[in-house]
Structure 1
Amino acid sequence: MRKVLILIFSFFVIAAGAYTYLKWYSPLAVYSSGFGLDGEVQLVEAGNKSPIGAVKIEEVLVNNKVSPSEVKIQVSHHMQGFVITDDFDGEVESEYTFKEVNAVSIQPDTHPQKQLEKVNAGTATEDDLIYGLSFIHHEPINQVTIKYRHLGVSHKKSLSVN
């Protein structure tokens, strides 16, 4: 009986430790990549530092935690890059892939810095996906907050973009 209790206790300690690690480890890497002259358009490059499990963005907020007027995620590759735009349906924009944020999972090992190292080494291909969050808001964007899930654990990441 004592061995069973020790085994159960050990399982709970390991599970609690794994959950704590996953909660503290923030796999989403985000960098301000560009903006419109008026500050109402913002591009934030995003990637997943984790070697396992996709990142699923659940909510994106700007400034004082309000929803932006519009937000989309660009899925691209280094040969094409991103576009900074205030019109997701324009002629130039039709050459890029804009999707609803909740329709895309950011795949593992897509950290923007690692992607840049591949480009510099000449080993980047069209299969190496890059992700960019495009925001349009009715006032200048100063801060972006991203709420997301990774391996079933919820996280929140904030980025100052001014």
Structure 2
Amino acid sequence: MKKKHWVTVLILVLTFGGVYSFVLFNPPLEIGTLGTAVGNKSVVIGIGNKGFREVKILEVSVNSNEKPSKTKVQVSNALQGFIITDDYNNNESKKYGFKNLEDVSIKADTSPAATYKKLDDGTASKKDEIYGISVFHSKAINQVIIKYSYFGFPFNKTVLFN
């Protein structure tokens, strides 16, 4: 009886260890489009999820872990694309679905590479959701650090702007 117990525990430990290792070495957040306005004070980073579950953006910081002046997530469609702006409430910006970070989860299977392929093939449609993190800061943005969670594990992704 004790031998069965240890075998079961060993199988569970190996299973959880394997899942943890797979998630750790295959982070799901993928970067696509990068766009900047003059002076790099306003940027948009196209992101997607190549994983199996939703990704939750926890926090966005710029440069040396500074809090940006404004941060939103654009939830748009593949045919429309993104907009670079510091005014998220004007009539033009409203078409791009700006939302607060905490209100958006990045759906699984929204890889920018897959979206680009659909655009190239002519099979993209308004149903293909795309996500962009829009950041505005009082100083030039050299890097954006995206903190997110996947399967409950925290990850960081750094995007450099030269």
Do both proteins adopt the same fold according to a TM-score greater than 0.5, normalized to the shorter chain? yes
Q: Where do 1:1-162 residues align within 5 Å?
A: 1-50=2-51, 52-162=52-162
RMSD: 1.2
* Matched position secondary structure for 1:19: helix
TM-score with structure 2 setting the length: 0.94
**Tell me, which stretches of 5 or more residues in structure 2 are unaligned?**
none
Structure 1 segments of 4+ aligned residues over 2 angstroms from their partners: none
One-letter code of the match for 1:40? K
**Tell me, which stretches of 5 or more residues in structure 1 are unaligned?**
none
Q: Measure how far apart 1:32 and its partner are.
A: 4.9
Whole-Å Cα distance in 2 between the matches of residues 149 and 37 of structure 1? 32
Number of aligned positions between the proteins: 161
Whole-Å Cα distance in 1 between the matches of residues 3 and 144 of structure 2? 51
Whole-Å Cα distance in 2 between the matches of residues 109 and 122 of structure 1? 19
* Matched position secondary structure for 1:3: helix
Whole-Å Cα distance in 2 between the matches of residues 61 and 118 of structure 1? 31
After the TM superposition, which of the residue ranges 98-107 and 29-38 deviates more from structure 2?
29-38
Q: Measure how far apart 1:149 and its partner are.
A: 0.9
User: Is this contact kept in 1: 2:59–2:147, CA < 8 A?
Assistant: yes
Whole-Å Cα distance in 1 between the matches of residues 66 and 50 of structure 2? 27
Whole-Å Cα distance in 2 between the matches of residues 116 and 73 of structure 1? 20
TM-score with structure 1 setting the length: 0.94
User: Is this contact kept in 1: 2:32–2:113, CA < 8 A?
Assistant: no
Whole-Å Cα distance in 2 between the matches of residues 43 and 74 of structure 1? 9
Percent of pairs with identical residues: 36
One-letter code of the match for 2:91? E
After the TM superposition, which of the residue ranges 16-25 and 106-115 deviates more from structure 2?
16-25
Q: Measure how far apart 1:96 and its partner are.
A: 2.0
**CA distance 1:98–1:80, change in 2 (3 Å):** same
Note the alpha carbon deviations across 1:83-116, whole angstroms, 9 max, x for none: 1112112232122210001111111111111101
